[in-house]
A = this chain, B = another copy of it.
Amino acid sequence: MQITIDLGERSYPVLIGDKLLENAKAHLDPYISGSQVCIITNDVVAPLYLSSLKAQFEKDYQVFTHILPDGESSKNLQVLEGIFETLLENACSRDVTLIALGGGVVGDMTGFAAASFMRGVDFIQIPTTLLAQVDSSVGGKTGVNHRLGKNMIGAFYQPKCVLADVGVLETLPAREFSAGLAEVIKYGLILDADFLSWLENNIQALLEHEAEALAHAVKCSCETKAYVVSKDEKEKGLRALLNLGHTFGHAIEAHYQYGTYLHGEAVSIGTMMALELSAIMGMIDASAVSTAKQLMQAAKLPVKCKDFIEPDILLDFMSVDKKALSGRIRLVLLEALGKAVVTDNFEIEDVKQAMKLCMPEKQEE
């Protein structure tokens, strides 16, 4: 199946299906304009899929490869510079197409490399994690982290095409798969109550990697994200809804220096904080919180921090969050399952209370 991300002259297709990677070149040929291709991947994905992908393209293209170290810690300017090094050493020109083969880190860095190399070359995404298939492959957000904050350096830059092969999710570690489900559930929570009900009924099929269910979940997620992004490409309003759980989640990740929780896991906890806050403020009732919590737990996601963290520490991290405007924190809260709103109208004490509901009690010293 195929959906289109509608962004005017920057529109592009997302091809979704099982075993697409086996014929990747045939699928992607129409979206490559030059004669040079550089496949950028990481050292976990490379042994699984790189040689077969490379072989497909070598028939008709000059193919270069660049392998990044796996993990969020490699998502920085120094590692990015290595990509430019490979491109320049191989005399890649402005019509090179970069292909991101990997998860969110590979996609974000490849996208930013494409946005920045010679001030912009084409790129294609082949997301190999569920998170990347449902989140980072749609929306054009690219970039790297800074030690003082996540995704602080980057660009809005759209791929020419995304190839989402749900077959590759077979090789994804279970924990990462669940982390991807956190974002899938998010789409239901913010905008799509029907999809949320479908998820409650099909979470087991997803965990068992049933291809049809996976393709449906990826499609619904991408469609919701595509709808939001097409209405608001540069994140001025509606798009902020996609950040449900992310402002809290980023603070949790930053507190643990990005080492303890996967992004999706932190988002799961952050989403529960946002929902607890919504309930404290009387916007939703306890049963809605409970529904979300059960779904997260069924997806094998954490709904509480493993340690007590002083709420003030999390708030400090939140004040440099890039979604803040002039230092004021804006949060995504729920008015109902399937209906999110952005607001800066809340009490800090309520936020702290919501945080505490999603962590163990403070141990007396």
Contact = CB atoms under 8 A, between A and B. Distances in A.
A91 interface: yes
Contacts of A118: 152, 154, 322
A327 B234 contact: no
B153 A116 contact: yes
Contacts of A143: 116, 119
B325 A84 contact: no
A116 B34 CA distance: 26
Contacts of A153: 84, 116-117
Interface residues of A, number: 43
A205 interface: no
Given A141-B119, A326-B34, A89 B148 contact: yes
A148 B91 CA distance: 10
B81 A77 contact: yes
Nearest to A92: B320
Given A34-B326, A93-B327, A156 B88 contact: no
Given A91-B320, A120-B234, A320-B91, A152 B326 contact: no
A147 to B, nearest CB: 9
B326 A88 contact: no
The 8 closest A-B pairs by CB, nearest first: A88-B148, A118-B322, A119-B154, A116-B153, A91-B320, A93-B324, A77-B77, A93-B326
Interface of A: 34-36, 77-78, 80-81, 84-85, 88-89, 91, 93-95, 115-120, 141-143, 146, 148-149, 151-156, 234-235, 319-320, 322-327
